[in-house]
Structure 1
């Protein structure tokens, strides 16, 4: 793994939507997509369930035809630059054979998923080792996926996606079903991939909080239209309340830390999944980056897996 060299794409927009629309049957999922995502950014696709977040990522990968308009990715029509894209699907842990070892899984990022026995070159094995080392699982190379926690399997998935040195890394709900510590470590890993290797990163996310320290912008699907804005504009209480259909507050402390919290006027007795002050401080210590002074304050999902 190494920092990526300059090429003509650097400094340009990584993804460009021009009046893009997607239909499913007669139903318009979203339309009038007109925006550009900068190269070198860390961007979330956010919105409530059913608004078309995964659909957007599939359109960018050329897996779903557009009803109208165009999507350009890394300077090429969607689908034509996929060899330069690392992709981590939400269903990775259920789709891949859990009897594979971590190393075998990562090598699939180089050899593909073709059936049969494929000779592995020394160079390929070295690249797999480098990818596993970067994500912190080199010591788990011989473990079967079935022996690894959810957090470690997610790191295997990311290692497989980055082993071919992509320019763009796309992840669909990478923090789903992970405990707080695993969510934090994955977010920190994404920050390192962006800062140290220069990867442009796009994440489908239902909850923004854990990603706040690393995000530079967000695509939000609202009223059937996708929009893009930098995080300073997205982190607006009125916008987030409209976006999620429930009262949301954006709170800034005197230290400049930012929190997204459920509004205090939630019905009495409403269960609220909030981090403790100690957890927030721990996140701030590990995942905070100089460019974004944001800190997490709420809503990891399922915490059944321990890393």
Structure 2
């Protein structure tokens, strides 16, 4: 059953999950990222995906996007097997450095969200321009609509990226480490944009992050990946010393101070990934 939600989100149909995994596993050669994953994500739900480097967080997102096939089990997204190019699934990628001389403007990036990423001339209709302007205004980026993206700050660029994603009116919003390199002010702005969307439109949010504290008050459930296994539940159920110690197979201490969570003693799997073959096409688990 879906987790409890407020009255705004409850107005949406929660009769069927938008993401469903049963017995799911994903491996790269001999390395098992995660296995035996049973998970339903519901309309309007905010799911945080946590875990150390190499635990398979980004690969989980790629599976939802239809870019990686499961090793075992089944996965449906919006009631069907995942496929590339599904416009009902929006994706906010990790931040990428852009050269200052890049001439692509903020409004051009959002327009790609409406038109797609195909090359060739596009019909510049008044309706499309109005939709771009409305989207930029909704994410607080109207004032730099005509500024080259390479000149924007990290926080400004992430606002535009979210605008690009929301321009498709998605049912699912996938965010892969969208808070990297952002200061606390811009972290708060980005998370508030994402949270507002799921409350206003019932959009399910899958939010990959290394740092739970910026989204702790927003999250319905946590999927914590580590050591080829996982834990699923509310933050209070998963982010405990007992739960994470069982997951890692070693003592892990979870400390809560003034509403913030610190995890101490969790092994970092980044070094372990170097002992296995790199995934195809340079994909990082």
* Cross-structure match for 1:43: 47
The question of whether the paired residues in 2 share the 8 Å contact of 1:47 and 1:243 is answered with no
* Cross-structure match for 2:104: 100
Separation in structure 2 between the aligned mates of residue 221 and residue 23 of structure 1, nearest angstrom: 13
* Cross-structure match for 1:260: 261
Deviation, structure 1 residue 234:
1.9
Given the alignment, which residue of 132, 141, 146 partners 1:137? Answer: 141
Given the alignment, which residue of 93, 106, 128 partners 1:89? Answer: 93
* Cross-structure match for 1:227: 231
* Cross-structure match for 1:217: 221
* Cross-structure match for 1:155: 159
* Cross-structure match for 1:170: 174
Could you list the runs of 5+ residues in structure 1 that have no partner in the other structure? 266-307
Deviation, structure 1 residue 134:
1.0
TM-score, normalised with respect to structure 1: 0.75
* More contact order relative to length (CA 8 Å, sep ≥ 6): 2
1:112 to 1:247, Cα distance in 2 relative to 1, 3 A: same
Separation in structure 1 between the aligned mates of residue 117 and residue 61 of structure 2, nearest angstrom: 21
Could you list the runs of 5+ residues in structure 2 that have no partner in the other structure? 1-7, 266-285
Do residues 123 (structure 1) and 134 (structure 2) align?
no
Taking only aligned residues, the RMSD between alpha carbons, in angstroms, comes to 2.7
Given the alignment, which residue of 173, 197, 203 partners 1:199? Answer: 203
Separation in structure 1 between the aligned mates of residue 231 and residue 252 of structure 2, nearest angstrom: 21
* Cross-structure match for 2:279: none
Residue 28 of structure 1 aligns to a residue whose secondary structure is strand
Separation in structure 1 between the aligned mates of residue 225 and residue 252 of structure 2, nearest angstrom: 17
1:53 to 1:11, Cα distance in 2 relative to 1, 3 A: same
Do residues 249 (structure 1) and 254 (structure 2) align?
yes
How many residues align? The count is 256
Q: Deviations over 1:47-102 (max 9, x none)?
A: 0000000001101111001111111111111227822111011145559x932110
Separation in structure 1 between the aligned mates of residue 98 and residue 153 of structure 2, nearest angstrom: 13
